[in-house]
Structure 1
């Protein structure tokens, strides 16, 4: 989506951090903004700042981990301006300091409830309505550099959640109608409130939030799927896939006719006559 002038953009977790910075960026492009978050006072502060900049904005409290909250927020969004053109699922949480072996299911679910099932709730509720609306629209999910490689040691629940967002978003892109654009935003280490007070000093060393969203907006306007930042991340990504490629070259090398077991081809055959885009 190249032009956001007059468009309605919904951003979850839009009252602080990356979400609020995106709200400012879209607003400068002429979009009308709808944000949500958990804290009403922070929503009010964000709305005041946006309106002071001449940006038309609305906001509501919403816990994205609760499907009924997201349904109510979607009603609020359509009631506010009559339509929605783009939705950014940005709300997220983070926890570090636990090993895989030392983690419990509850440790994982605290993260997954927001980072994965929250994203699922947003794209399910808003995606269904955007498809019914039938006009060109966009769904953007905020993943992480940790969607592409393990960038944070001792944070398995968080890293796993961001890998899940990658898979969810890649699948979503193939399943929605062509008039629904899909993008995966992969921030590197960006200043935010993730991690709470304990991470405040570390966060001060991260990339400025507005700098990141400025880089990302250029890619969003070009319709890119992978929306990236932090140039050095490509080194980590290369390290990972060189190891994967080496394993295949040594133990499962290519041969004539090997596409007989191509998983995409096999699934397409099974899906013939079934549901498609």
Structure 2
């Protein structure tokens, strides 16, 4: 294992489970001090415990990404605790679907917009405000989805619209702030080994059987594979990668 992020501070939202937890663990394994953020203290504490058990350094901070004051406080507490904000991963997101757009409840639509789009926007604003005042700048990775800018399926138009917005927002923000020394990119996973990729009532074995025909790769991506893409974009190995949207979906949107 390399230590690409030794001496760096990394903030990960939605770090209490799934892809967010995998990203937090991966950064910690490569030497970063990690702030695991989210709305549920218990799950964040579990992420921190896993990192510390493996010999890493981490802290949990509860925050609601839809509230600007929460997000600003999250960045402030990150810097107070570890001295800088070198990498931020805006991973927090929700999925609502299962009905055509004409039947999408307004409450679901507003929830998708608030968390998936406004949450990323507020994260970017607070993170950039900190990073552009640092001599070393920083790197930001937003978690989008292959559903959106890359491919579409019926029944999830609200989710698709918000994730397409994340991909577009990432590219626009990257152009706005590369002159500030901040690289902004996104990762767009397809179905990954999380509960979000399970259909209602579906078991993991059912999902594995379905994916054999649904994906050219024949399986879901592991959360570690998605995390590896995030770490690449955040690292100096990607020093000239700006405004990229890296799709990790086993060829589904190829």
Question: Is the aligned partner of 1:186 residue 2:188?
Answer: yes
Question: Is the aligned partner of 1:42 residue 2:43?
Answer: yes
Q: What's the secondary structure of 1:233's corresponding residue?
A: coil
Aligned residue pairs total: 234
Given the two structures, how large is their TM-score scaled by the length of structure 2? 0.84
How far apart, CA to CA, are the structure 2 residues paired with 1:218 and 1:77?
A: 22
- Report the equivalent of 1:138: 139
- Report the equivalent of 2:73: 72
Q: What's the secondary structure of 1:96's corresponding residue?
A: coil
- Kindly state the Cα deviation for residue 191 of structure 1 after the two structures are TM-superposed: 2.1
- Give 5+ residue unaligned stretches, structure 2: 209-219
- Kindly state the Cα deviation for residue 141 of structure 1 after the two structures are TM-superposed: 0.6
- Would you say the 8 A contact 1:93–1:195 is kept in 2? no
C-alpha spacing 1:215/1:117, structure 2 compared with 1 (3 Å): closer
- Would you say the 8 A contact 2:174–2:184 is kept in 1? yes
Q: What's the secondary structure of 1:63's corresponding residue?
A: coil
- Kindly state the Cα deviation for residue 133 of structure 1 after the two structures are TM-superposed: 2.4
- Kindly state the Cα deviation for residue 220 of structure 1 after the two structures are TM-superposed: 4.3
Tell which structure's C-alpha radius of gyration is larger. Answer: 1
- Report the equivalent of 2:168: 167
- Report the equivalent of 2:148: 147
Instruction: Tell me the alpha carbon deviations over residues 100-134 of structure 1, each in whole angstroms, 9 at most, x when there is no partner.
Output: 11124332111110000000110011111111224
Residues 98-247 of structure 1 aligned to structure 2 (within 5 Å): 98-178=99-179, 179-194=181-196, 198=200, 201=203, 205=208, 206-221=220-235, 222-223=237-238, 224=241, 225-235=244-254
Aligned-CA RMSD value: 2.2
- Give 5+ residue unaligned stretches, structure 1: 236-277
- Kindly state the Cα deviation for residue 192 of structure 1 after the two structures are TM-superposed: 2.4
- Would you say the 8 A contact 1:147–1:186 is kept in 2? no
Residues 80-91 of structure 1 aligned to structure 2 (within 5 Å): 80-91=81-92
Given the two structures, how large is their TM-score scaled by the length of structure 1? 0.78
Q: What's the secondary structure of 1:181's corresponding residue?
A: strand
